[in-house]
Amino acid sequence: MLIFIERVGPLATVQDLGRRGWFDSGVGQSGAADRGSLRLANRLVGNPEDFAAIEVLLGGLALRADGHLTVAVTGAPAPATVDGTPVGHASVLELDEGQVLRLGLANSGLRTYVAVRGGIDVAKVLGSRSRDTLSGIGPEPLAPGTQLPVGPAPRTLPTVEFAPVPLPPEVLTVRARPGPRADWFTDPDQLFRGSWTVSADTDRVGARLDRAEGPPLVRSIGRELPSEGVALGSVQVPPSGQPVVFLADHPITGGYPVIAVVLDADVDRVAQARPGDRLLFVAAS
């Protein structure tokens, strides 16, 4: 069974839950930027949660079924049609041979996920089918004419037809814990004062933030920091003073101080924040 890619938007890649255990070789985990949406899409079609799916930036994808496919679309609510007929978001969809699923541009959120029963069965690299955009590891980004193999259907069956998903808030509130380099700033609590705006300079590596309202972040230590390990959700502050929240394809080491780390439970929400969205940091208890 194959999926034929007829059109892509700004970016579409194959992603699963990432490759673990390669940090000592300089390879990050990568995987879906919004892990919760990938897991939901897989559950809807009856797959194990870690099966590979398509991550679509902003929408604009069109794919054609080579045979009968069971699919689900989750994440950023891009309007979807099958042969021109609108279909529901976060619901189970059935495509017959030759039918085309098209995604319009999402009005909110940043990344949409398309899962197919059986999963996208491209070759694994270091134990994962994910594309790491920083290192270039994994399958190439999708392009018109790409053919994606579909794996055999699992024994488990879909248990629901749709999943209610709440609308994103107008202002995103993100929990974070100060440190490990909070003492490199004159007042690290300034991160939690006022609000930030997601910059246009945002990708799978990290979400760069501009100060929307509140004081700038000022360093108290001006010397260079030796490179040290950085985790998913680290809030690194380069000399510009614009914090970067590290996402799925972040480097595994960094030379700028990390003022705080976003709770793992909130990283997916940052990954769905699009340029211009407002963001507030709150100190995690």
Q: In sequence order, what DSSP letters do the residues of 126-175 get, joined into one string?
A: TTB---BTTTTBSSPPP-TT-EEEBPPPPS-----SB---PPPPSEEEEE
CATH of span 171-283: 2.40.100.10
Read off the pLDDT of residues 4-40 as tens digits, 9 standing for 90 and up: 999 999 999 999 999 998 888 889 999 999 999 999 9
Structure-token pair, residue 163 = 């999943």
Phi/psi for 59 (5° steps) reads: 110, -160
pTM listed for this prediction: 0.95
**Averaged pLDDT of the chain:** 95
Residue 20, class by beta-carbon neighbours within 10 Å (0-12 exposed, 13-18 middle, 19+ buried)? exposed
Read off the pLDDT of residues 44-58 as tens digits, 9 standing for 90 and up: 999 999 999 999 999
Read off the pLDDT of residues 146-188 as tens digits, 9 standing for 90 and up: 999 999 999 888 878 889 888 888 899 999 999 999 999 999 9
Rounded CA-CA distance 211/118 in Å is 44
Q: What is the pLDDT of residue 59?
A: 97
Give me the percent of the chain exceeding a pLDDT of 70: 100
Q: What is the pLDDT of residue 174?
A: 97
What ranges do the domains of the chain cover?
A: 2-149, 171-283
CA 93 to chain centre: 22
Looking up tokens 């999926």, which residue turns up?
3
Q: What is the pLDDT of residue 37?
A: 97
Contact yes or no for 212/278 (Cβ under 8 A) = yes
Read off the pLDDT of residues 99-123 as tens digits, 9 standing for 90 and up: 999 999 999 999 999 999 999 999 9
Q: What is the pLDDT of residue 161?
A: 82
Question: Does pLDDT of 263 surpass 80?
Answer: yes
